[in-house]
Structure 1
Amino acid sequence: MTRQVVAVVADDATAATAVLTTWDHTGTDRFRVHGPIPARIGRNGVGQAGESTAHTPAGVWPLTEAFGTEPAETRLPYRLVTTSDWWVSDVESPYYNTHFSGDPGTCPFDEAAGENLGAAGPAYAHAVVIGYNRDPVVPGAGSAFFLHVTDGRPTAGCVAIPKADLEALLRWLDPAKHPVIEISGRAVPPPSGC
């Protein structure tokens, strides 16, 4: 049963900004923990994601792991990444939409169609993997969706918030509470069900 919800709500489906709020659920009650926090989302808003849409995927997705170029205090499985860590976006690769470790120039996929996590800069100081298109993975349906540190600009489909807010969220997230992210392109009331 989900007992932690990260709600990301844009005013409409075409907006590149949203508001993030986190909620604890205790059976019949819910309590706001963080927010509202201003967030940047895909430059084309919320909708059907894909490799070339720049949409943030609408729906509810699990939050099961995190990574970053800096250490973090979190209960989620956390991977400290370097320039040998990739997120594969090569639709022809069996590693599509997964993490892969390999030195640049040696990877068994098109590195130009992948994201070098350690070379991405301050945005990946910390990031939580959004479980969109992870189980099962559908080639071309979109890859590399994360909740990460904002640079103040719209994203290619991720959700981005200020670093201090993301660090607080990482401390709060608890895999035993089955956290999810709920992304919507229209104003909706806070999540009600668990």
Structure 2
Amino acid sequence: MIPHKPRVVLLATSLLLTGCGAGAVATPGDKPAAPVRTTTAPPRPTATATPLPQQLPGLGPETLAQVPVHTWQAVVVTGHGKDSARSDVVLYTRTGTGWRAGERWPAHNALRGWTGHHRAGDLRSPVGVFTLSDAGGLRPDPGTKLPYDHGRGFTATGTGFEGEPLAGSFDYVVAIDYNRRPGTTPLDWTRPLGAGRGGGIWFHVDHGGPTQGCVSLSLDHMRTLLRTLDPARHPVVVMGDAASLAR
């Protein structure tokens, strides 16, 4: 199947407002002046920023150990279950104070869910941490910093598992570096682990149903992903069902 580092610190200082008044001077024959009352407004509450997580949420020690120390962008794909074809995607960016989460995007993954030992035709998406090096699509480059291969080789035809048309699925793709050679077009068929271990695992445009192994997002979310990923930040995808990622 083909199917900088901004440091943001939010600090709010409480503003203390003090009312000041001048005392009146009493002169002979005058009634004593009424005492002048001074009031101090209560301090305003101090707004404190919620601390950013120091580790990627939802990931256990085995998974975290696979995330390169020089990675500053991580796309976390969390499957709803081992055998589920639905998942959620969050793009995290590391800052000087922790990992900042983007929006949560709904996604599809493979028809039969997830596996830690992907094989060609098993209709499961591979669990693991993989680099994101190359992109492409039938549509022109939307403004990504990744190398982008634009051409008719990304034409999708046929129907999906639920009878939905696949046309447009490869308008935008990001190659997931599972059993492929980074630094090449997503259309490259080199399989370092052998053809039996599958390949052609991509992020691509959602067609409304399960995939054969890829992760699919809406057209707008794919466009956002492409414009956000930056090779200088060494992006990776961390993907799998929630239980597997928590190990």
Q: Does TM, scored on the shorter chain, surpass 0.5? A: yes
1:54-82 CA distance string (max 9 Å, x none): 11110000000001000121000000021
1:128-158 CA distance string (max 9 Å, x none): 0000012571111111100000011000000
Over the matched positions of the two proteins, sequence identity in percent amounts to: 31
- Paired residue for 1:66? 135
- Paired residue for 1:130? 176
* Contact 2:156-2:168 at 8 Å conserved across structures: no
Q: Please, which of 45, 51, 54 is the counterpart of residue 120 of structure 2?
A: 51
**Which sections of structure 1, spanning at least 5 residues, go unmatched?**
86-116
Q: Please, which of 12, 32, 57 is the counterpart of residue 101 of structure 2?
A: 32
The two structures have a TM-score, normalised by structure 1, of 0.75
* Contact 2:127-2:244 at 8 Å conserved across structures: no
C-alpha distance in 2 between matches for 1:27 and 1:49: 36
Q: Is 1:79 matched with 2:153?
A: no
Q: Is 1:153 matched with 2:209?
A: yes
In the TM superposition, what is the alpha-carbon distance from 1:26 to its structure 2 partner? 2.3
- Paired residue for 2:155? 118
In the TM superposition, what is the alpha-carbon distance from 1:118 to its structure 2 partner? 2.6
**Which sections of structure 2, spanning at least 5 residues, go unmatched?**
1-69, 158-166, 182-190
- Paired residue for 1:172? 228
1:71-98 CA distance string (max 9 Å, x none): 121000000021xx3xxxxxxxxxxxxx
C-alpha distance in 2 between matches for 1:30 and 1:65: 24
> Where do 4+ consecutive residues of structure 1 move more than 6 Å?
none
Structure showing the higher strand proportion among its residues: 1
For 1:166, the aligned partner's letter is: M
The two structures have a TM-score, normalised by structure 2, of 0.60
- Paired residue for 2:184? none
Q: Which has the larger radius of gyration?
A: 2
For 1:154, the aligned partner's letter is: P
RMSD in angstroms over aligned alpha carbons? 1.8
Q: What secondary structure, in the 3-state scheme, does the structure 1 residue paired with 2:203 have?
A: strand
- Paired residue for 1:22? 91
